[in-house]
Amino acid sequence: MMSEPEPTKESDVIHRLKNHLCIIVGFSELLVADCPADDRRRADLMEIQKAARDAMAMMGELAARIR
């Protein structure tokens, strides 16, 4: 059994944020896949997806800063 270092408060918050982002990214991608190309809601979903992916990248930067 490995012994993991105790999580810091910051890393715990990032871990929880990652879980939320995971849900936003995953479900928005599933919705885009189900949305017909001519559905005007598709563009809205694509915006959510883009923002979520940008947030993923920012989360990576933030996580690297607190390492």
Partner 1 sequence: MSKTDPPLVLVVDDEAPIRQMEMRILQEGGYRAMEAAGGLEAFAMLEDGVVPDLIIADLDMPEISGEEMVGRIHAARPNLKVLYVTGNVDRLLNARSLIWEGEAFLDKPFTVKGLLEAVALLMTGGINAAPQPPRAGQSR
What residues make contact with partner 1 under the rule CB under 8 A?
A: 1-5, 7, 11, 14-16, 18-19, 21-27, 29-30, 33, 52-53, 56, 59, 63, 67
User: Token match 């059994």: residue?
Assistant: 1
**CB of residue 13 vs partner 1: minimum separation in angstroms?**
11
Residue 38 CB, nearest distance to partner 1 (Å)?
21
Cβ-defined contacts of 47-50 (< 8 Å, 24+): 48/24, 49/25
d(CA 63, CA 66): 5
Considering beta carbons, is residue 24 or 46 the nearer one to partner 1? Answer: 24
